[in-house]
Amino acid sequence: MNKIAVLTSGGDAPGMNAAIRAVVRRGIFKGLDVYGVKNGYDGLMTGNFIQMDLGSVGDILHRGGTILYSARSERFKTADGQQQALAQLMEVGIDGLVVIGGDGSFKGAGKLTAQGFPTIGIPGTIDNDIAGTDYTIGFDTAVNTAVEAIDKIRDTASSHERTYVIEVMGRDAGDIALWAGMCAGAESIIIPEANYEINDMIDRIKQGHERGKLHSIIVVAEGVCKGTDIGNMIEEKTGFDTRVAVLGHFQRGGSPTAYDRMMSSQMGAKAVDLLVEGKKGVMVGVKNGQLIYTPFEEAAKDRHTIDMSIYHLARSLSI
């Protein structure tokens, strides 16, 4: 292992730059040449490599997004696309690759490993929806961003005695909605992993109003339904002034939290160590506070699960 490369793929997440920095500096510390691949798998197929040095990752620890840029690639899913990528890696003399991204990115990395090329994955997605790890890079920042937004919305909701529906990201996983709703004191949290009853939500809003509460906050994950649909139902059934706020990609950006910087740094360094040790086709993860690694195929067999005890706790505290 003399030369390694690192790329980011899929949706960006705060902390990706911290992980890139860790891969580059740990690699140089280990005596390796380190290359960055721009524009994800598209850049891998076209040979968009840049050699990284210590200075190239200076002053990026605190920056959101990814300095290597990111893209989803349909062409890389084909056998021809994968062969093009392998040819580019061979031409530059790259011996191992670190892929920072989500489960789709790891499927691509697994294709390379299946053809004999060593790859290591680092889970980077704000949705926290990858099996095989308790935590993914970007989740903590996204939750804090959502909580800060909800706190500010609550101020105006109280001032105008309104009900607010906050739609957060999470197409197939409700982690952001659950954590943000719990930490912001939402009356109801609607997530893909739990059935919701509109009448239960309405009853909670009415009960709060009857005891003199000036506002209500409902948090919904985008994968369940549109926030506007929930808002219309609430207004129709209660007559209360109801507004909807869709946080959208606002949750993707921003400076990563200290926790995201710490986890990104640890995972990035671990990925390099695994390559040096001869490991391949595995994803770095965190289980019970400890760094672990899991083969891509094992992680793919399991489904991401949410901690439903937090959901039930939130319901009991929002009465």
Please give the angle made by the CA atoms of 211, 217 and 221, to the nearest 5 degrees: 145
215 annotated ligand binder: yes
160 annotated ligand binder: no
36 annotated ligand binder: no
154 annotated ligand binder: yes
223 annotated ligand binder: no
Q: Is 172 a catalytic residue?
A: no
In sequence order, the 6+-apart residues with CB closer than 8 A to the CB of 63 are 17, 255
CA-CA distance, 3 to 34, in Å (whole number)?
Answer: 6
Instruction: Give the residue among 65, 51, 243, 25 at the shortest CA–CA distance from 154.
Output: 243
312 annotated ligand binder: no
Q: Is 158 exposed, middle or buried (0-12, 13-18, 19+ CB in 10 A)?
A: middle
Q: How far is CA 107 from CA 19, 78, 185, 237, 245, in A?
A: 20, 12, 37, 46, 34
Residue with token string 């290359």: 35
53 annotated ligand binder: no
21 annotated ligand binder: yes
Residue with token string 């959208």: 248
303 annotated ligand binder: no
The H-or-E segment that residue 166 falls in is strand 163-168
249 annotated ligand binder: yes
23 annotated ligand binder: yes
252 annotated ligand binder: yes
211 annotated ligand binder: yes
Structure tokens at 56: 């190239």
74 DSSP assignment: S
Name the H helices within the chain.
16-29, 40-46, 79-92, 103-114, 139-160, 175-184, 198-210, 227-238, 258-276, 296-301, 308-317
171 annotated ligand binder: yes
Active-site choice (127, 129, 175, 260)? 127
Catalytic residues: 127
Q: Known binding site for ADP: residues?
A: 21-25, 154, 185-187, 211, 213-215
List, as residue ranges, the binding site for substrate.
125-127, 162, 169-171, 222, 243, 249-252
Binding residues for Mg(2+): 103
Q: Which residues are annotated as a binding site?
A: 11, 21-25, 72-73, 102-105, 125-127, 154, 162, 169-171, 185-187, 211, 213-215, 222, 243, 249-252
